[in-house]
Amino acid sequence: MSGNKSSTTIIIEAFDTLFFRDGRPFSMGDETWANGIFPPSPSVVYGALRTGYLTQHIDELTKVDSVADLTAALVIMAMFYRIMPGNISCFPAPLDLVERTDKNDEIRLKESNEKRYSVELLSLTLQNGGCSSLDERLHMLKTDNRVEPVEMGLMAKSDLITYLKNGSQVISGFSYKVRKLSDYICSESKVGIGRDDQTRTSGDTGKLYRVGMVRPSSRGSGARIDLAVVYDKLNIPDSGILRMGAEGKCVAYRLVEMPEFNISELRHSESRRFKLYLMTPAIFDKGWVADWMLKGVYNDIRFELIGAAIGRPLYLGGFDMKHGRPKSMKRAVPAGSVYYFELKDGVTVGACFDQLSEAFHCKSIANPAFCNSKEGYGITLLGIGK
């Protein structure tokens, strides 16, 4: 996505329902519901790719987590979606896009049938002493209309590029269109019961549990959504089978073309403001924000954080196969979150475009002390912020 010709892009297609657990505690019991998330966290995809390689090279298993481990170099460079039919590449919708609540029934029906929803972009506004728990230096994102956030929104690649290049509404009124993940997945509950490790029987009703499975296809219309991954430094066949999810179900994968995010038009921008859009979840040292954002310097670029649009945190965990225990739960900033910055010393985005692009565009900004940046956390795209 950033011009790396050696990278590989694959589409992952599910055969059946999938279940990806979040990091919150779960114990079996009559009234227990195990929370799932979709899409899976980057680390789940990372693990599936490494396992896919090792199943083809059993002799390499003894080298895992050693200096001779060939899978340790794997880097996930991007994650996105493909909607079928139409072969539409989509990304998490930026969270500074909101949906108006005053749409009439005709508009709502039309958008529901088309599965495309009109949204508007919030604008940065000074707090002016209003009641807010935010740092007074931060701007608020607001609109004069009555709006609500778009839950699990998706934006086509072409629209996302326009959003990054514009930084404001393209025209007055509704300008951007998004899709909703809920239109392309079905939730299916499953009841199970724990089994004794020795006898493999399940006579204890106290070990009942329920989980929310996800089928990545819409009910009735025939539409489906697939997961796409761009990665580098791992040699696996061009197509094949991977295991994913808590139940280790099989999914198919195959090669596709890599999408490009050409934002070279920003080279001519005279704006001093830029935004960073998170394509994948990020884990930062300061919770919702990174320490370098607050300090206002990154790779010798000087700026000030002036605003942010952030969704509810994701609770991510996992299982440590090497030590045989659950991983510690971490809170992640969700994909689609947007951070606004203003360059200092009168510098414009165009004047330091190469420096900004090299530091942020299609790069991970997640804190490596809290997560493995190779796994694909915090992949960022650069845009104009007005």
CA distance linking residue 334 with residue 151, whole number of Å = 12
Contact 242, 249 (CB under 8 A): no
**Are 214 and 173 part of one and the same domain?**
no
What is the domain range of residue 294? Answer: 88-183+261-384
Mean pLDDT of 316-336: 78
Please tell me which residue, 326 or 82, carries the higher pLDDT value.
82
Residue 195 pLDDT level (bands cut at 50, 70, 90): low
Mean pLDDT check: name the lowest of 81-90, 217-226, 306-315, 371-380. Answer: 217-226
CA distance linking residue 292 with residue 306, whole number of Å = 13
Residue 237 pLDDT level (bands cut at 50, 70, 90): very high
CA distance linking residue 337 with residue 349, whole number of Å = 20
Highest mean pLDDT among 34-48, 119-133, 338-352, 361-375: 338-352
**Are 378 and 316 part of one and the same domain?**
yes
Residue 385 pLDDT level (bands cut at 50, 70, 90): confident
**Are 170 and 270 part of one and the same domain?**
yes
pLDDT at 174: 52
pLDDT at 361: 95
Res 222 pLDDT > 60: yes
Res 34 pLDDT > 90: no
3 domain residue, yes or no: no
pLDDT at 200: 63
pLDDT at 129: 58
Write the DSSP string, 114-135. HT-EEEEE-EEE--TT-S-SS-
**Are 241 and 372 part of one and the same domain?**
no
**Are 239 and 123 part of one and the same domain?**
no
Mean pLDDT check: name the lowest of 70-79, 192-201, 252-261. Answer: 192-201
1 domain residue, yes or no: no
What residue has token string 């809290």? 370
Contact 22, 37 (CB under 8 A): yes
2 domain residue, yes or no: no
Mean pLDDT of the chain: 85
Q: What percent of the chain has pLDDT over 70?
A: 83
Question: Quick one: residue 221, left, alpha or beta (phi over 0 = left, psi -120 to 50 = alpha)?
Answer: alpha
CA distance linking residue 29 with residue 208, whole number of Å = 5
Residue among 77, 59, 81, 80 at smallest CA distance from 69: 59
- Greatest Cα pair distance, the chain, in angstroms, is 72
CA distance linking residue 215 with residue 194, whole number of Å = 23
pLDDT at 124: 84
Res 171 pLDDT > 70: no
Q: Encoding tokens for residue 322?
A: 């090497």
Residue 70 pLDDT level (bands cut at 50, 70, 90): confident
**Are 93 and 104 part of one and the same domain?**
yes
Mean pLDDT check: name the lowest of 120-134, 182-196, 218-232. Answer: 120-134
**Are 152 and 268 part of one and the same domain?**
yes
Mean pLDDT check: name the lowest of 79-93, 288-302, 321-335. Answer: 321-335
Res 269 pLDDT > 70: yes
**Are 67 and 167 part of one and the same domain?**
no
59 domain residue, yes or no: yes
Res 91 pLDDT > 80: yes
Number of structural domains, the chain?
2
Please tell me which residue, 294 or 128, carries the higher pLDDT value.
294
Per-residue model confidence as pLDDT tens digits over 336-379:
999 999 999 889 999 999 999 999 999 999 888 888 889 999 99
Res 202 pLDDT > 70: no
Per-residue model confidence as pLDDT tens digits over 302-324:
999 999 999 999 888 766 666 66
**Are 107 and 69 part of one and the same domain?**
no
Mean pLDDT of 260-281: 93
Mean pLDDT of 28-47: 75
pLDDT at 38: 84
pLDDT at 30: 47
Domain endpoint, select from 255, 288, 313:
255
